[in-house]
Amino acid sequence: MPRKIREKQLSLRQMARMRVTRRPGAAGLELPADESALGPEEEGRVVAHFGLNVEVETDSRERVRCAVRESLLEEPVCGDRVVCQRIGADQGVIVAVHERLSVLRRPGPHQRLLTMAANVERIVVVSAASTLNPGLLDRYLIAAQKAGIEPLLVINKIDQLSDAATLETVLAPYPPMGYPLLRVSALLEEGIENLEEALRDKTAIFVGESGVGKSSLINRMVPEESLRTAEVHAATGLGRHATTTARLYRLKRGGFLIDSPGVREFGLHGVIREEIPGLMRDMAPRLGQCRFKDCRHLREPDCALHAAVEAGEIAAARLESMRRIAESVPSRNPYY
């Protein structure tokens, strides 16, 4: 039984006094002050977020619209495993959030980090075969490494491949670093089963440039009924912000997919220059082997990374990528 981030223990009297009332922006949800009306504790998963309300799918696969107790230490987000108690058939309150296996954050207003999603286990980095940008791919891989979440590389639009040999040269370094690589076509429905298999029983998100085919791939893997539910919520006004909010979908073969607009900003927030080589799987094991302890791996003599490129153990493009990415993020030491 995983540990819960539970609210502080309240006496029965406090419980009775505590009110979970309508709050500004809370979509018409009103809960009774009398907490004896609460049903038994049920386990579930947050599938959507509407302002201050949260939609939970219970483990019995029922949807419950929940208010969030202010006393919770963590605001529940999409992907969170929670404990809720119902009031009536389809309304309730979240009383505890389980410990998270991972969190994805992005910078929000007032220099605060916003949590976008919890318990993501796979970051699916989608590229299009004809416009693959290895520099951008490397940025996503570094960000995933920093978040401690396993990436999966997906090359979509293989039906539009003009220069297969060049693509294979660019992709060659990745599988030896332990990155699974799938070639698919949403258009021809090729490789979709392999993708579904790779995501089975996991919680995943898709990242990648606009136009590479993320939505097309998601549409292939999420049953229509699940996508339709999202549209219905958008239409009723209960989920007026449904198109701008994170959502968790059930995949056909099992597993979940979180579709979040915030994920577009998934990147190197909070990563500093000095960390970059250590977040690259082909470079990390060689750090500390350069002649200079503070080697920047540029033109310094006896650089272990250079030596590895010369020995054919690290792809020259990866070292080049490392330099460009390092230059693009802030440094702890401005002279570095």
Ligand X SMILES: Nc1nc2c(ncn2[C@@H]2O[C@H](COP(=O)(O)OP(=O)(O)O)[C@@H](O)[C@H]2O)c(=O)[nH]1
Question: Which of 196, 207, 160, 152 has the alpha carbon at shortest distance from 178?
Answer: 152
Pairing of the two strands 103-107 and 113-118: antiparallel
Q: Would you say 44 or 262 has its CB closer to ligand X?
A: 262
The CA-atom distances, in angstroms, between 325 and each of 210, 271, 285, 294 are 20, 10, 19, 18
Question: Which of 88, 85, 115 has the alpha carbon at shortest distance from 246?
Answer: 115
Binding of ligand X by 161 (CB under 6 A): no
Among 11, 36, 210, 244, contact with ligand X (rule: CB under 6 A) = 210
Could you say which of Zn ion, Mg ion, ligand X, none residue 85 binds, taking C-beta under 5 to 8 angstroms by partner kind?
none
CB of 283: closest distance to Zn ion in angstroms? Answer: 9
CB of 259: closest distance to Mg ion in angstroms? Answer: 9
Q: Would you say 169 or 215 has its CB closer to Mg ion?
A: 215
Among 157, 202, 297, 318, contact with ligand X (rule: CB under 6 A) = 157
Could you say which of ligand X, Mg ion, Zn ion, none residue 297 binds, taking C-beta under 5 to 8 angstroms by partner kind?
Zn ion
CB of 322: closest distance to Mg ion in angstroms? Answer: 29
Could you say which of Zn ion, Mg ion, ligand X, none residue 290 binds, taking C-beta under 5 to 8 angstroms by partner kind?
Zn ion
Question: Which of 90, 14, 31, 17 has the alpha carbon at shortest distance from 58?
Answer: 90
Question: Which of 40, 121, 132 has the alpha carbon at shortest distance from 79?
Answer: 121
CB of 161: closest distance to ligand X in angstroms? Answer: 10
- Residue 5's DSSP bridge partners are 97
Residues 6+ apart with CB under 8 A from 319: 283, 297, 305, 306, 309
Q: Would you say 34 or 189 has its CB closer to ligand X?
A: 189
- Residue 104's DSSP bridge partners are 117
Binding of ligand X by 133 (CB under 6 A): no
Binding of ligand X by 131 (CB under 6 A): no
Helix (H, G, I), strand (E, B), or coil: what is residue 237? coil
State the distance between the two ends of the chain, measured CA to CA, in whole angstroms: 47
Binding of ligand X by 127 (CB under 6 A): no
The CA-atom distances, in angstroms, between 292 and each of 164, 252, 301, 313 are 40, 53, 8, 21
Do 288 and 247 touch, CB atoms closer than 8 A? no
Binding of ligand X by 185 (CB under 6 A): yes
Binding of ligand X by 186 (CB under 6 A): yes
Among 142, 167, 268, 290, contact with Zn ion (rule: CB under 5 A) = 290
Binding of Zn ion by 283 (CB under 5 A): no
Among 71, 166, 215, 243, contact with ligand X (rule: CB under 6 A) = 215
Q: Would you say 160 or 169 has its CB closer to ligand X?
A: 160
* Residues engaged in binding ligand X (CB under 6 A): 156-157, 159-160, 185-187, 208, 210-216
